[in-house]
Each structure stands twice: as C-alpha cells, then as structure tokens.
Chain A
C-alpha cells in the first residue's frame, strides 16, 4: 500500500554543487493495506513533508516510493492524477475553496472523478448531514466556524471513500467530543479497508486510540512501533 525505501526529500535546488538541505533523510517503512497509523514528532520534524510525499504534492528526490501499488518514480506525470483521486487528505489549514459552498467543496472530488449529479447530490448531502452540517450545505466557508470548516474539509477528504486517508492535525480546532466523533469516522473508514495516517500532537487522543506509530525527529524516522 505505502512503501518508503531510503526516501529523501529536498525543496528547491535538488542537485548541483549547492543543493538545498534535505528535509527528510533516508526514510524507510511500509504500511500494509488497512493500517491505522499515527505520525508523531515535534514541530519541524518533517511530518507535513512526509504527508506531502504521500499525497503526491512533492516527489522524492532520492529513494523509492511505492503508493497504492505504483512505483511513483516510474509513473508518468499523467498517471499521477488517478492515484491522487484515491487519496483523501485533511489539511491542517483546511484548504477549502473560499468561493464554493460547503456542498460544492465536498462535491469537488466526486466531480473530478466523473460522478453523476444525482449521485453527487445524494452522497454529499448525506455526508454533510452526518458531520452535522445538514443545515449549512450552501454556506460559504467564510460564514462557517473553524470547527465547521474542518468538518467540511474532512467530508471532502472521505467523500470518495479513498484507499489512503491522510490527516494533518485534524483535531486541532475541535473540542474533545468532535475529536472523538472524527476518530469514530476514521476508525470506520479504516475498518472497511482504508489505510489511515494521522499526524497529531494530541497525546491524549493517541493514548485513547492506540495504533501503529511513525515517529520523526529532524527529518529522520526514529521509531516505528
């Protein structure tokens, strides 16, 4: 499902005599299909960079990355969009489209996947009701609270029932009850086969939901439990 083999990552200058510093060094691990995994580490440890590699926002500058059965280094650029459609991401800063309603934000991945209008309407409405936004389907993000925006972002990430779900500090703006509700959703998706990777600082949450852990320190994988 997800395999890192001696993966390194640099931003900016990737070669030449004066390359940019490496933000991830020699990362190797494997997550089988259906894994639930916490990604831990202090701020700046490289959690977000590791997630960016996993949702193909950046490509490794060294090593080999295999995602959803595809060797990314050998996959042509045109082959990456179909892979991205099988990956759901919950961003730390939500990354909602400000000019689109909650409904249209959540519908976007389905539209990119070529879903029918009727199916999109049914699925999106049901999911937004499930996350407690049934009365705010056609509200713009700027009119939603931080927690509500986060729920829209989560709904957008899971609407396609992705094979791989990545979340970067998804409970950062949530109260404990909302965080638990999100964990129920993630656990449910994991139960039906989705591989879930969650970067979190929330020690209490991690302790309440024990699972495999990847721990990063200054760009290196220091512990795999």
Chain B
C-alpha cells in the first residue's frame, strides 16, 4: 500500500489534535486587536516623547526680556535702558542671539488678544527682546540682577514654568501610553492562557493517552506552544498590517503639530512622518505576539500537567 506521506506528516505534527481544539480564527482575531492597540499605545508614547522634546527644545532655548520705558536713560546716562539691556545680554556667555522685536512684531503678538486696535494703543509699551540660548549653562539669577542694575524694572521670562508644566503633561501622557501598553500585554497573556486552557480541556483524553505512553511535559507543552505561536504570529502580523494605515491616518491628523508642519502631506511624506522607532515597534509586534504565545502556552500547559502523576 502506498504511504500517503503528506497525510502522515500532517497527523504527526498534530498528535494531540490541536488544530480542532485551538481553532484558527478567534485567537488570531483577538491577538490582532491587541497588536493594533499596542501599536497605538507605542505611537502615543513615541509621539508624546517627540512633542515633549520639541517643547523643551523650543521653549527651553528661548527667553524673553521686557524692558519698560526703553528709551529713557539707563544706569549709565550715555545709553538708553534698552541699549544697556541689549548690551548686557549680547555680552553674556550662553546667549546665541538677541533680537529686539519691532513695533510690527509686537502688534502681531498682541493682535490675538486686542484685535485690530492692537496697533493703536495709547499705553506705553515695554520693549520686548527675544533671546536665543546656545544651550550652555547660564546663571539666570545673576543675569536678572545685572539687567535690573542696567535698566531697573526689566523682567526676565525664561519659560521655566511652562516647560515644567508641559513636561508634566508629557509625562502624564507617556504614563497613560505605558499603562495602556501594559494592559494590552496583560490582556494578551490572559486571552492566550484562556484559549490554551480551553484547548487543554478539549483535548484532555488525548493528553492523558500520550502522557500514559511516556510523553514528557516538554513534549505536550511544546505541541501547545507551537500551535499557539502560529496563531499568535498570524494575529500579530495582521494587527501590525492594520496598524500602518491607522497610524498614517493619525499622523495626517497630527501633521499641523509636527516638527515641520505640512497641513496636507502626501502619502510618501506621511510614510516618512512615522518615526523610525515606531516602524521598529510595528515590525516587533508579531515577534512579541509569538513570544507571549510561546511563554504563556508553555507555562499554562506545564502548570496544568502537574495534576497528572
């Protein structure tokens, strides 16, 4: 009689009948959903990190100096208060550039609050100096005292309060993303453990037979782990594939807040808008699903087998 090798191989690979006990639809579907949620959580984490860095780099390297009555004589009568403040700022180590805002720039800054009348104010306005820092350490307290000596009443605004508030906000958002990722991982483990236990219950007779024939715990757990890994890998891969268009859509919504905003980015630009670590994370999703599937199945089956002698 001719040996149907393919059939024999198929049976040999599934001695416990796990193809029926762990069907190939529900578990991959659930794992795919978990992978999609994980991708969104990681995207949230990475996006928040980038935003926080952007805030720090933007606000943290800038200062604003307000000089009241700028055209009056300063501490040294030969120069105005504004010139004295600018001179001090320009000569301070750690300051990259000093720019005195023009009347038009000041009007633009005030227009959102005061409307079109911003340019016709009767009130005396302080001069505003935008200062960019080099990033080197700078003694702001000493600088503030120097400015006050040169032009009494000059105010130095280093944006520190805002940076701290924005950093706290970014940290909270990152913590939420991490919590979501942890929950996704925990739910994935629970889903795979429940599916594995259902498979164990369904194949109890078969397991007892091979156990009685001398199968080790490793053999039985390995068969379950192999099947679970296969299902988790397919779910993880599907979730990763679905995550790409979802993340691209989110990137499109977030484009105006990006580092180099483009209100209507094209598909190619969108693809490049996703940061490299996020692409890496998406690629790692099936691998993570396989690892979770393998470890969870192994531990669940080995624990269950302890009830057999």
Contacts and interface: CB of A to CB of B under 8 A. Distances in A.
A-B CB proximity, top 8 nearest: A85-B214, A84-B214, A99-B17, A104-B11, A81-B214, A81-B216, A59-B309, A109-B213
Interface string A167-186: 00000000000000000000
Interface residues of B, number: 25
B15 A100 contact: yes
A112 B3 contact: no
Contacts of B214: 81-85, 109, 112-113
B1 to A, nearest CB: 6
B137 interface: no
A68 to B, nearest CB: 12
B76 interface: no
A204 interface: no
B14 A111 contact: no
Interface in B177-230: 205-206, 208-217, 219
B209 A84 contact: no
Contacts of A59: 309
Contacts of B8: 101, 103-104, 138
A58 B309 contact: yes
A99 B3 contact: no
Contacts of A97: 15, 17, 206, 209
A19 interface: no
A77 B309 contact: yes
Given A81-B216, A82-B214, A103-B8, A108 B15 contact: yes
Interface in B1-50: 1, 3-4, 7-8, 11-12, 14-15, 17, 20
A84 B211 CA distance: 8
Contacts of A135: 1
Interface residues of A, number: 34
Interface string A38-67: 000000000000000001111100000000
Nearest to A100: B11
B206 to A, nearest CB: 6
B213 A99 contact: no
A101 B11 contact: yes
A121 B11 CA distance: 14
Nearest to A110: B213
B169 to A, nearest CB: 55
A55 B15 contact: no
Contacts of B15: 97, 100, 104, 108, 111
B213 A121 contact: no
Q: Is the interface of B mostly helix, strand, loop or mixed?
A: helix
A100 B214 CA distance: 18
A209 interface: no
A108 B206 CA distance: 12
A62 to B, nearest CB: 15
A216 interface: no
A134 interface: yes
Given A99-B14, A100-B15, A80 B309 contact: yes
A191 interface: no
Nearest to B1: A137
Given A101-B7, A137-B1, A138-B7, A78 B216 contact: yes
Contacts of B219: 112
A89 interface: yes
Interface in B135-161: none
Given A84-B214, A99-B11, A112-B210, 17 more contacts: A56-B212, A56-B309, A57-B208, A80-B309, A81-B214, A82-B214, A84-B211, A84-B213, A85-B213, A97-B209, A101-B7, A104-B8, A104-B12, A111-B12, A112-B213, A113-B214, A121-B3
Interface in B73-125: none
Contacts of B210: 108, 112
Contact of A57 (B14, B215, B309): B309
B12 to A, nearest CB: 7
Contacts of B3: 103, 121, 137-138
A113 B213 CA distance: 9
Contacts of A95: 205, 209
Nearest to A109: B213
A211 B14 CA distance: 41
Contact of B1 (A56, A57, A83, A134): A134
Interface in B224-261: none
